[in-house]
Each structure stands twice: as C-alpha cells, then as structure tokens.
Structure 1
Amino acid sequence: MLNPIDTDAVIRDGRVAGAFPGEMHEGVAWWVAACFVVVSRAQQMAVAHDGHVTTRGFHRRFCRGAINAQHFSCQVADLGEANEAQLVHAMQALGNSPGALLSTTRDGGRQTVTIRLYDAEGQLLAEDTGLAKVREMIATDRVPIPVNDQAKGRITMRRDLVETT
C-alpha cells in the first residue's frame, strides 16, 4: 500500500478523520469509499461535501473510489455542497441508499478532514455496523478494485435532490 495511514487513529468514533496533510491524504477517501461500497453492498449512494477547497479534492477521490469497487457498479449521486439534513433527505429520495458527508475544519494552521458514513437508514456507521470492517480492509491492504470496466459505476450530479429541501 502506498502512503499507509494509522487506521486505528484515523478510523474511529463513528467517522474517518485526520489532519491534512499528515494523518490523511486524498487517497484515503478512495479507499474508504471502495470499502464502504463493498461492506454496505451499495448499488447506489449519495455523497455531499461542505464546499471547502480541501474537501473538494477528497470528495472527488471518494466518488471515484465508490464507482470502482469490485463488481458493484455503484451509482454515485453527487450532491455537491450540502449539509447533513440535505444528505439524509437525498438518501431517502434515492430509496434509502447509504451516503457520505465530507468536511474540513481549520484550527489555527491545522486542517482536519472528516468523512462521515451513513447506512441506508440515515444512521452514522458505527463499529458494529461496518466501520470496523472498513478499517480492517484498509489496514490489511484489501481495498477492493474493479474487476473490469463493465463493473464500473457512474457519478451523476444530483443538485436537484438538494434544492428540494
């Protein structure tokens, strides 16, 4: 694995979070997304971000990882900038699909990137509902890759799901 991370420090407490640069890099978003698709067996998912310039890079990588997870052909509804309530509404509108919200906070000179994963019922992923499995897959370098081009999903802009809330 290129650029490994301390998975126990970064993937915990119901989220994926770490200092950028340092504890996290944009590749982590790809890994998390691909593993989340496999763990949740998602055929579709909603993804949103907070609009921060740093978050946008992580968001792009997350979406790419989600569409490239094994044979799942996951369809990503890219909501663009949205808050948690808008994300959960979009997840419900998509037929109770899982989702992810990416954000960046700044404390002095330190930026912390956070990825929150939501199950199909709109609840944050917890240790016993998949987060531990995502962490284990990344820690053991078992990040899923696409099996072929036909298994690749697609990213679709879905601002319409945000504007209706």
Structure 2
Amino acid sequence: MLNPIDTAAVLRDGRATGIHPVQIHEGVAWWLGACLVVTQKAPRVAVAHDGDPVSTEYAAMFARGATNAQHYRCHVTVVVAPVTESELLDIARGLGQAPSAYITNRSGEVSMALFDAEGKPLTEESGIAAIRKLIDEDHVPLPVNDAARGVIIEYRKEDAH
C-alpha cells in the first residue's frame, strides 16, 4: 500500500475505523472493497454511506476496489442517496444476499462496517483477519485480465419499488 496503515489498530470489530486522513484514508476503502470481494468470493457486493462528503468519497473508492478483485467480475451496487445501515442490509438481501459495507464519517472519524452475505458483521474468522493479512502483505487483488473487471451499478431508493 502506498500509504500504509496500522491494520491492527484500524481493522477490528467488523469494521475499519480511524481519523481521516491520519489513521485511515480513501486508499483503505479501495483495499477493503477488493479484499471483501476476494475473501467472501462475492459475485456482487453493495456499498452505502451516510451522505457526508468524506463518506461518499470512501464509498466511491470502495466500489472501484471491488471491481478490481481477481477473477470475480463483481457487480458492485452503490447506493447513491444516503441510507441507514439497516436500509443497506435490506438492499443487500434484495440483491441476493450480497456482502456489503456501510460507511460513515462522524467528526472526522471514518467507519467502514463490513458485512457478510447474511448481513452479519465480519468477524476475525469470517474475513477480518484475512483482509488484514492481504493488506499487511500488500497482496493487491487485481483482476487477472480486463474481462475479469467488475462493474458499478448505481442504486436509487426508487429502484426498490
């Protein structure tokens, strides 16, 4: 990673959390997107944010990372308007049990909560440790070729009706 982070301090309890941009930065969101796809073997993921400009940028970076995850050709659903974590999990269920990420920024502390396909927060055993290891070892989960690159799909609340 060009701008390393202390993964043990930042990536824990089912999320990545830290002060922007000192402890955590947009590049971490890219890594989390790619690593969530790889560790969950996900053909699709969803990402949403709380509407804060920093959260919105992190969500965009997360989506770009998720499209660049080895051979998965992941379809990344980006919820355009701000939603709650509960709304994101409902959307992810509607997509066919997609892993997801919910990004918030509260007074400069960015939090990226990560969920498995069942909507449960990732644990050390279900992906956090594997993601930490990928980042620590700088294993970039790039696509194997251009045909393996995923796509970003925008989702609006009215799409649910």
| TM-score tier after normalising by the smaller chain length | over 0.9
Structure 2 counterpart of 1:130, which letter? Answer: G
Tell me, which stretches of 5 or more residues in structure 1 are unaligned?
none
Q: 1:133 and 1:161, CA in 2 relative to 1: closer, same or farther beyond 3 A?
A: farther
Shift of 1:162: 7.0
Could you say if the C-alpha distance between residues 102 and 162 of structure 1 is closer, same or farther in structure 2, counting changes exceeding 3 Å? Answer: farther
**Residues 34-73 of structure 1: matches in 2 within 5 Å?**
34-73=34-73
Q: Deviations over 1:49-82 (max 9, x none)?
A: 0000111111110000001111100001111221
Q: Deviations over 1:74-109 (max 9, x none)?
A: 001111221111111111111111111011011xxx
Specify whether residues 140 and 154 from structure 1 end up closer, same or farther in structure 2 by C-alpha distance, changes over 3 A only: same
Is residue 2:111 matched to residue 1:114? yes
Aligned to 1:148: 145
Return 155-164 or 85-94, whichever deviates more: 155-164
Counterparts of 1:151 and 1:121 in 2: how far apart (Å)?
25
Q: Contact between 2:38 and 2:72, CA under 8 Å: does it hold in 1?
A: yes
Q: Deviations over 1:95-139 (max 9, x none)?
A: 111111011011xxxx11110111111101111111111011101
Matched, 1:127 2:124: yes
Separation (CA, whole Å) in 2 of partners of 1:49 and 1:161 = 17
Conservation of the 8 A alpha-carbon contact between 1:86 and 1:162: no
Contact 1:146 1:152 in 2 (8 A): yes
Deviation at 1:160? 3.8
Superposed CA RMSD: 1.3
Alpha-carbon distance in 2 for matches of 1:150, 1:161: 31
TM-score of the pair, normalised by structure 2? 0.95
Say if 1:79 and 1:162, in contact at 8 Å, map to a contact too: no
8 A Cα contact 2:47 2:101, kept in partner: yes
SS of the equivalent of 1:60 reads helix
- Counterparts of 1:14 and 1:76 in 2: how far apart (Å)? 20
% of aligned pairs identical?
45
Instruction: Tell me the number of residue pairs that the alignment of Structure 1 and Structure 2 aligns.
Output: 160
* Unmatched 5+ stretches in structure 2: none
**Structure 1 residues 12 and 151: CA distance shift in structure 2, 3 A:** same
User: 1:29 and 2:33 equivalent?
Assistant: no
Q: Secondary structure at the match of 1:130?
A: helix
